Amino acid sequence: METLLKIKNLKIDYAVRGGTLSAVNNVSLDIKPKEIFAFLGESGCGKSTLSLAIMRLLMDRNTSVSGEIEFKGTNLLTLSNHEMNRVRGRKIGMIFQNPLDSLNPVYRSGTQVYEALTLDNVTRQQAWSKVLQLYQDVKIPDAERRMKSFPNEMSGGMRQRVMIAMMLSRNPELLIADEPTTALDVTTEAQILNIMLSLREQYGTAILVITHNLGIVAEIADRVGVMYAGELVEMGDVNTIFENPLHPYTKALMRALPRHSKNVGRISTIEGTVPRIIGEYIGCRFENRCPFAIDICRSKTPTMREITTGHFVSCHREEIL
């Protein structure tokens, strides 16, 4: 199948006091049309940096980005700002954790979706019908009335639906959802995830979900990439990763899920936090939290290996785990 998004050897460094902080290192992956791919990892592992880089929203002069981010064969990192604006507006959409940050409080929600529409040669009335249809597609109850509500008159879940409707108005081929349900209660979270799943069917949109929540990965993703300290440590089909996690870090994460506790390794807790990697780093970034670490883990940086078809792991010791 063709590839929608291809990331190759992506490396992102922030200039910080004391040197450069390696936020993302040597990340490579492919996302196919209509696929739901999840980046999973703890806070500080580089998930947001990666998604902002795809949208080319890391404008800080203290950031250096190298590698390739290809969208349908075009390297986004070499596009002009004007060309990138078109990709951002029409091909790739993004929703964030807190929709209130993205919605304008002084305009009615429907007006904001209307403004986002890029339909050519349609009457005002047809455009408003499209807004209504989008509200219905994202299952906003009493859609006609809700189009007239201001963002602060809506619940968090409803605001997130408006954001999704706004993104869909551009008919993007890829939707990036950065912790889309973190601010929501469990019931609303389930509804938003269901909406995302049905929209993939209806609109054919591929979705890149960024999350620290294993439940979300299990619920909606086809494939998952597990991030640790800026690097992908394991990647594969969701079922494979949940049933047969190989990397010690992934095993530790799975251990947190009671229903998987029988299948996974010996780590019951992972001590410590994700390290901030400043300057050149040799060795495995998980080494100081890993109970299986040996000398080679400190002296050589592991690389991704394909263990079975489509299941990649970056660990010197995966064969004994």
The residue with tokens 């994460």 is 253
314 is an interface residue for ligand ATP by CB under 6 A: no
292 is an interface residue for ligand ATP by CB under 6 A: no
11 is an interface residue for ligand ATP by CB under 6 A: no
Q: Name the minimum Å distance from CB 278 to ligand ATP.
A: 9
Considering only 5, 10, 21, 267, the residue that binds ligand ATP (CB under 6 A) is 21
Stretch that binds ligand ATP, among 13-21, 101-109, 158-166, 283-291 (CB under 6 A): 13-21
Q: Which is nearer to ligand ATP, 53 or 131 (CB)?
A: 53
Tell whether the torsion through CA atoms of 96, 138, 86 and 31 is positive or negative: positive
- What's the CA gap between 274 and 42, in Å, rounded? 7
44 is an interface residue for ligand ATP by CB under 6 A: yes
Taking a C-beta distance cutoff of 8 angstroms, is the pair 6, 235 a contact? no
- What's the CA gap between 221 and 214, in Å, rounded? 10
Q: How many CA atoms lie within 13 A of 130 on its CB side?
A: 21
Cβ contacts of residue 150 below 8 Å, gap of 6+? 105, 106, 107, 108, 109
Stretch that binds ligand ATP, among 47-55, 103-111, 134-142, 196-204 (CB under 6 A): 47-55
In angstroms, how far apart are the furthest CA atoms of the chain? 69
14 is an interface residue for ligand ATP by CB under 6 A: yes
CA 168-178-9 angle, to 5 degrees, is 105
213 is an interface residue for ligand ATP by CB under 6 A: no
40 is an interface residue for ligand ATP by CB under 6 A: no
Taking a C-beta distance cutoff of 8 angstroms, is the pair 261, 280 a contact? no
Stretch 265-284 residues interacting with ligand ATP (CB under 6 A): 276
16 is an interface residue for ligand ATP by CB under 6 A: yes
Return the closest-CA partner of residue 199 out of 224, 163, 225: 163
Q: Name the minimum Å distance from CB 211 to ligand ATP.
A: 9
Residue 301 one-letter amino acid: T
Stretch that binds ligand ATP, among 15-23, 100-108, 151-159, 280-288 (CB under 6 A): 15-23
225 is an interface residue for ligand ATP by CB under 6 A: no
25 is an interface residue for ligand ATP by CB under 6 A: no
Q: What residues line the site for ligand ATP (CB under 6 A)?
A: 14, 16, 21, 23, 41, 43-49, 60, 276
